[in-house]
Structure formats: structure tokens, C-alpha cells
Structure 1
Amino acid sequence: MEDLRIRAAGPSDVDAVLAFWKVAAEGTSISDDRDGVERLVARDPGALLLAEYGDGELAGTVIAGFDGWRCHLYRLAVCPERRRRGVGTALLTAAEERFARLGGRRADAMVLDRNAPAHHAWRAAGYAPQPQWSRWVKPLTD
């Protein structure tokens, strides 16, 4: 796959990631702001993974968080023009490798119900919806 590389995001990537998510991510999150992403990168420097082509073109992202017990995947997003070319698979492989290094044994993913194209990608990567679980959310800020 033409010179695609995966690397951890750093503080200098925050603005590019936020701009990328406006184009490539389905919907927004309460934490999709500079403070939220800066906190993520500072607290867990390896969690926000970026897929880039050789010229620095941002092609995809995933947040691969590990709390010491469970592995959590968020914000798998691929540039619309780069979809169905293995970018998402490469990101998920890198995330799972990170989890294995950290001792993680089980991963869960946050996937919007209405994002049907993403369901295909997650299933292709071996993930399955868990209908017996319900996601309960409480925003901690306004």
C-alpha cells in the first residue's frame, strides 16, 4: 500500500487532527476540541494513531486507549478519498499491536449505529456488535 505509515500523534498534530475529523469522521463528540485532544496526547502519548502517506498527507486516525483492564477504540476515521484501500485495517492492526504490547486482552469499539459503511469495516476487522449491551452516556460538561 503506497508508503502508508502509522505513527502516534504529538502535540503539533492536534489542529490537523481536529480539521481532519470535520471531514472524515461521522458526527462530532463533546471532546472534539483542542483541550480534549491535547489532554489525550499528553496523558497517553501512544493512544492517538495517525495513518499518513509519505508526503505527510493525513489519511486516517484511531484512538487506541487502554485503561489497564480494557482496550477502547474510538475515532476510526479515514479520508473519504482513501477509503476501501486498507487504511482503516492498517490503523486497527497498529491499535491491536499496541494493545498486545500493553497486555490488553479484549477491545471494544465505539461505532455509531447510523454509520453503516463503518459497520462493514469493523466486521471485516473481526469485530461484532453486542446487542445485549447498551451504551449509556452522561456528558460531564455542557
Structure 2
Amino acid sequence: MRGDVVVVAVGLIVALAFSTLIKAFTDSVINPLVARAQGGKSPGLGWQLGDPGNKATYLDIGAFISALIYFLIFMAVVYFLIVLPYKHFQARRGVAAFKDPVPTKTCPECLSDDLPEPASKCRYCGSAQPARG
């Protein structure tokens, strides 16, 4: 279990580092491109809903598009640089990472709901389990 905790901690650190890198990319590259898409002297891609120059009433679609691009890039980085290598590493160890949970059933006596489907007795109260069929 300790090895898995270390892997998760390293993955979190790497993800945070990539987050900063991707945020800088979207702020420095994507935001100017989105703002240029509207053209003119507008502060960005969006509409002024209230008084001109009031940032509180500016509907900034460009910032939303930039945040969406940031999210997509960040998730792709996390998936391809953390999740896939981790799944491959676990497969080499003989452990299936991120697999579907095993089907379970509920004990009619004690109502515990984490018994495996093929169980014939409850692990908590010892009562016989009805056969599913």
C-alpha cells in the first residue's frame, strides 16, 4: 500500500507542476489569440452588458474559452503522462488498475451491501445467502 501512496503523491506533484506550465501557456498564447479573434479595440472576446469600462458587467467569453482549453490540455497531460503509465506499471505487477468494481449483493439479515455475488455466507453475520439465479 505504501508504494501506491508514493505513486499517487508523485503523480499529484507532477500534475501541479504541469498545471502551472499549462496555465502560463493559456495566459500567454491562447488568451491573446482568442482576444484577437474579436478584433477591434475590445478587451477580449465578449460583450459589455453595463457601463462601458466596468469589468464587473463584462461578459468575458474569451476567459471561458481559455479556461476550457486549459482544462482539456491539463486532462490530456494527466491522462497520458500519469494514468496510462500507472496502468501499464500496475499491469506488469499483475494488478488491474482502474477496473470496474466487482458485482455485489446485500445481505437480507444484516443489510451489509458489500458481499460478492457468489458468496454463500455473509462475512459479517454468518447467515446463509440465497442463491441468485
Q: Write 1 or 2 for the structure with the bigger share of helix.
A: 2
Higher strand share: 1
Which structure has more RCO (C-alpha within 8 Å, separation ≥ 6)? 1
- TM-score, normalization: structure 1? 0.22
Q: Please say which structure displays the higher CA radius of gyration.
A: 2
TM-score (norm 2): 0.23
